[in-house]
Structure 1
Amino acid sequence: MNWFHKKTTPVIQTETVAQAAEITASESKPERDACLKHLSQVISSGERGAVLKLHIDNFKRLNQVFGYEYCESLLEQILTYLKEVTGKNVYHYIGVEYMIILDRYTQGQALELAEEIAGRFDHVWKVTGTDCLCSAQMGICSYPGHASSPDQMLKCLDLAVIKAEEDGPNQAVVFDSALQKQLQRRQTIALYLSTALEKEEVEVRYRPTLHMDTGIFTRAELYMRVFIKGLGLIGASEFLPVAEDSGQIRAIEYYALEKAAQCILSLLKADCKFESIALPISPVLFLQEDFLDEVKRVMDTHHIPKGKLALEIQESALTMAYLNINVMLQQLQEMGVEIILNEFGSGYSGISSILELPVDTLKLERLFVWQLETNPKSRHIIEGLVRMARDLDITIIAEGVETENQVRILTEAGCNYQQGFYYSPTLGKDTLLNILGTSLTDSHQLLAEEKDKMSR
């Protein structure tokens, strides 16, 4: 099947966006330098003030819909507005991020200003007679206090903007003591990860998946966690984003790839009957020039047969660089790697885009599984998604299964692969060797012991 013939227009749009981004980054470097110099001056002055960071959301999508020239005019209009409403220098820091240094502002005054700006973004911007509605998230950090350097100030603002994004469109969040603790936690995790691989302190475990038609565990997904003194057990969902931000994700993911391959080799030597071992991967890996070479090297070194290694990518990654990811997924599939798309149904990308990707397996957005306990409508969504996957002859997996009610509804909907604590906790490699290829009934005692260990 030709995966490109329907994607001609989006491919052109993606390249245009990428070229525009490069131009914007180049042009904004003097602005960044000026901003950092100004930040350094005000932080060291000892005088009171605040810094406001504004990030325009979904701008890549706007660029695709309206075009580069339209969006450039839009940015100019937004910049003019920000200068007028603040009366301050507005630095085009990078991409679609703006920094405003509000000297002699109290935290309350800065928040009032941010709320006024948010109100403007609730209304349309008119460019060349065409209306456009875009949203913005803002972070505020006062000084002196939380940050003693420009770099520290930027980290505080980034965290505040992330929190604002969680709250919805056109929100402003003030960096406070709670976010300070969160930042310190992230810094502690980043510091720990810098030596964790060398000291072999990253624990690798596996989540087995039950095939409902046979009642046998036929798959598993690699899971990592670390124990950090003072913080306790930290799962991959928390430490991998930190690793991405700190530049450590490549080393950690390649370590996990090696462990997954070793596990597959052990299963093959034990003559275990299984389908595949899956490894969730960060979208950042698709930006690594040696990613495909590393996957091939590991498969060749451990003599991994086609179909036994699966790589799992989040659906949200498709909004980042569709063309590059599409091409690399095809190459991985040609190498015999099973491609799993996670968060299916989350809405990050269009259904048409998903159906054109070289994907073998879909994982249901776990939110739908959880909502089976509280929202009856989620059942209809699951039934529709499962039916769609089955009609297209694509495997579909439900994760996060924890209750009998979820099992019943998922099974009635025809979801033949299910994963979650209801069936099994995460397992060490040696235990997994005794579980894969066996039935839920035969594994009952061993799994009960593993669950008991986790509850202690």
Structure 2
Amino acid sequence: MNWFSKKTALQTETDGRVLEDIFLESKPEREACLKHLSQVMDSVERGAVLKLHIENFKRLNQVFGYEYCENLLEQILTYLKELTGKDVYHYIGVEYIIILDQFTQGQAYGLTEKIAERFDRVWKINGTDCLCSAQMGICSYPGHADSPDQMLKCLDLAVIKAEDGGPNQAVVFDSALQKQLIRRQTIAHYLKTALQKEEVEVRYRPTLNIDTGTFTRAELYMRIFIKGLGLIGSSEFLPVAEDSGQIRAIEYYALEKAAQCIFGLLEAGCEFDSIALPISPVLFLQEDFLFEVKHMMEAYHIPAGKLALEIQESALIMAYLNINVTLQQLQEMGVEIILNEFGSGHSGISSILDLPVDTLKLERLFVWQLETNPRSRSVIEGLVRMARDLDMTIIAEGVETENQVQILTEAGCNYQQGFYYSPTLEKDTLLKILGTSLTESQQLLAAEKEKMGRLSESSSGNFKKNSV
């Protein structure tokens, strides 16, 4: 989950009550924290900063209730103050910042081990036990960061990295993460002018209908080329755009491109089901989102069912009710709703039953594991059967091998997408592909794959075929 998602996850309805706007509530605390950070970073003393993020707080609210969790946060804050003897700032929501002046990096890491050990045990609130987990990031100063804002970015990246290790982990911001941060900053800087200079390339992933043997769908895909970094796919640059506040402009740009594509396909008399656009959950918080979608549909005369918007299942863990209402309104406008990452476990089956969803897209990890884990076949078969029983369309993405095709087809997955069938295509090429069979388009697709291979080699390994 990226930085924005963590913050958004705090603003959810729980146990009949709505958490207040934590950003406004904690403003004085944040200002005090930033002031203290600025002071210690300007001094000649060495030290470290520790950030702690509590995981799965929404779930805790659902199980124990708002008041219980407020008491839990206060108990954690008291514990951290007593343990460290330092100023602990309840920075935002379920995040704490501890300024460890005159601490070495080793001392700070030793402190995280004690904190992790405490989070391995239950917290007791009013006689009721609760077990929660935390992720921690450490950044020492001076060194990697030269301002409080830069320090917070370093800590954010360290916490996100800690998530990869499981619950109650700590990661020290080091030179490897510094390279990642510089890469993200380079991408963010590039995105500032990329739209004006028309340097965001829009392509499309076609999807094969196994029942008819023809390409009937496509999904919009974006990529950018940055000198020194190579080709950067949307899976990498869109999270950066979210964090840097540029996602709205990029997504609305993509929305218009998708609308233009649909208009062109209709004008050409092409037979197709829909063109899909992956949507960031950030857009669901924009007041003009529904207006923009409606405007594009009207401006480009898009009939019901031809525009599809795709949302990740992980987005449902934040602002669920807001997203649900928006999805219902989109569906009433004639927009097909696709839920990506189906089977990832981010949301319960009950949530999926309540959502106005038309199409499910399988978590691509299951497709990839068909090559290495025989048990994944049973998972695939179960998910496909569930989708079909719910009368929903199901799509498998990331299909790359004959073995995957065979298992998916036998399981009844009637829509498949991936490099096995086609790389991403320019709009003009897509026009030639949609409505044709795999056999009819074989020569053209082979040429596109060869072109993609040459491009991949020229990008010095920055662009992998499974990302196109």
Superposition TM-score tier, normalisation by shorter sequence? over 0.9
CA distance in 1, matches of 2:367, 2:245: 33
Quote the offset at 1:165 in angstroms: 1.3
Which SS does the other structure have where 1:439 is aligned? coil
Query: 2:183 is matched with which residue?
Result: 185
Correspondence 1:374-393 to 2 at 5 A: 374-393=372-391
Correspondence 1:271-282 to 2 at 5 A: 271-282=269-280
CA distance in 2, matches of 1:31, 1:175: 24
Query: 1:338 is matched with which residue?
Result: 336
Matching residue within 47, 50, 53 for 1:52: 50
Q: Any idea what the Cα deviations from partners look like across 1:165-207, whole Å, max 9, x if unmatched?
A: 1221100000000111100100000000000000000000000
Which SS does the other structure have where 2:443 is aligned? helix
Query: 1:118 is matched with which residue?
Result: 116
Query: 1:18 is matched with which residue?
Result: 19
Correspondence 1:319-334 to 2 at 5 A: 319-334=317-332
Which SS does the other structure have where 2:211 is aligned? coil
Query: 1:353 is matched with which residue?
Result: 351
The one-letter code of the counterpart of 2:338 is I
CA distance in 1, matches of 2:91, 2:210: 52
Correspondence 1:24-35 to 2 at 5 A: 24-35=22-33
TM-score norm. by structure 1 comes to 0.96
Correspondence 1:63-102 to 2 at 5 A: 63-102=61-100
Does the 8 Å contact 1:14/1:322 carry over to 2? no
Does the 8 Å contact 1:276/1:307 carry over to 2? yes
Correspondence 1:169-248 to 2 at 5 A: 169-248=167-246
Q: CA RMSD in A?
A: 1.0
Query: 2:309 is matched with which residue?
Result: 311
Query: 2:4 is matched with which residue?
Result: none
Query: 1:449 is matched with which residue?
Result: 447
Query: 2:247 is matched with which residue?
Result: 249
CA distance in 2, matches of 1:409, 1:79: 51
Does the 8 Å contact 2:340/2:363 carry over to 1? yes
CA distance in 1, matches of 2:25, 2:259: 44
The one-letter code of the counterpart of 1:338 is E
Does the 8 Å contact 2:15/2:66 carry over to 1? no
Call closer, same or farther: CA 1:14–1:422 in 2, change over 3 Å. farther
CA distance in 2, matches of 1:228, 1:46: 37
Query: 2:407 is matched with which residue?
Result: 409
Does the 8 Å contact 1:124/1:131 carry over to 2? yes
Does the 8 Å contact 2:15/2:61 carry over to 1? no
Which SS does the other structure have where 2:391 is aligned? coil
Quote the offset at 1:18 in angstroms: 2.9
Query: 2:7 is matched with which residue?
Result: none
Check if 1:166 corresponds to 2:184: no
Query: 1:8 is matched with which residue?
Result: none
CA distance in 2, matches of 1:297, 1:27: 36
CA distance in 1, matches of 2:324, 2:185: 34
TM-score norm. by structure 2 comes to 0.93
Call closer, same or farther: CA 1:366–1:318 in 2, change over 3 Å. same
Quote the offset at 1:12 in angstroms: 5.8
Percent of residue pairs identical: 84
Query: 2:371 is matched with which residue?
Result: 373
Does the 8 Å contact 1:17/1:64 carry over to 2? no
Query: 1:6 is matched with which residue?
Result: none
Query: 2:101 is matched with which residue?
Result: 103
CA distance in 1, matches of 2:13, 2:245: 30
Which SS does the other structure have where 2:19 is aligned? helix
Q: Any idea what the Cα deviations from partners look like across 1:49-77, whole Å, max 9, x if unmatched?
A: 00001111111211121011111111111
Which SS does the other structure have where 1:167 is aligned? coil
The one-letter code of the counterpart of 1:223 is Y
CA distance in 1, matches of 2:211, 2:404: 17
Query: 1:287 is matched with which residue?
Result: 285
Quote the offset at 1:17 in angstroms: 3.9
CA distance in 2, matches of 1:222, 1:14: 38
CA distance in 2, matches of 1:229, 1:329: 38
Query: 2:296 is matched with which residue?
Result: 298
Quote the offset at 1:113 in angstroms: 0.4
Does the 8 Å contact 1:276/1:309 carry over to 2? yes
Does the 8 Å contact 2:13/2:321 carry over to 1? no
CA distance in 1, matches of 2:147, 2:272: 53
Quote the offset at 1:326 in angstroms: 0.7
Unaligned runs of 5+ in 2: 1-11, 455-468
Quote the offset at 1:27 in angstroms: 3.5
Which SS does the other structure have where 2:237 is aligned? helix
CA distance in 1, matches of 2:255, 2:63: 38
Quote the offset at 1:46 in angstroms: 2.0
The one-letter code of the counterpart of 2:178 is Q
Query: 1:42 is matched with which residue?
Result: 40
The one-letter code of the counterpart of 1:418 is Q
Quote the offset at 1:341 in angstroms: 0.3
Which SS does the other structure have where 1:324 is aligned? helix
Quote the offset at 1:14 in angstroms: 6.7
CA distance in 1, matches of 2:403, 2:191: 39
Query: 1:258 is matched with which residue?
Result: 256
CA distance in 1, matches of 2:146, 2:23: 26
Does the 8 Å contact 1:369/1:406 carry over to 2? yes
Query: 2:462 is matched with which residue?
Result: none
Quote the offset at 1:433 in angstroms: 0.4
Quote the offset at 1:31 in angstroms: 1.5
CA distance in 2, matches of 1:12, 1:135: 21
The one-letter code of the counterpart of 1:331 is Q
CA distance in 2, matches of 1:225, 1:34: 40
Call closer, same or farther: CA 1:199–1:374 in 2, change over 3 Å. same
Query: 1:131 is matched with which residue?
Result: 129
CA distance in 2, matches of 1:356, 1:155: 37
CA distance in 2, matches of 1:15, 1:109: 43
Between 1:160-169 and 1:440-449, the stretch displaced more is 160-169
Q: Any idea what the Cα deviations from partners look like across 1:322-355, whole Å, max 9, x if unmatched?
A: 1111111011001000000000000000001101
Query: 1:434 is matched with which residue?
Result: 432
Quote the offset at 1:15 in angstroms: 6.0
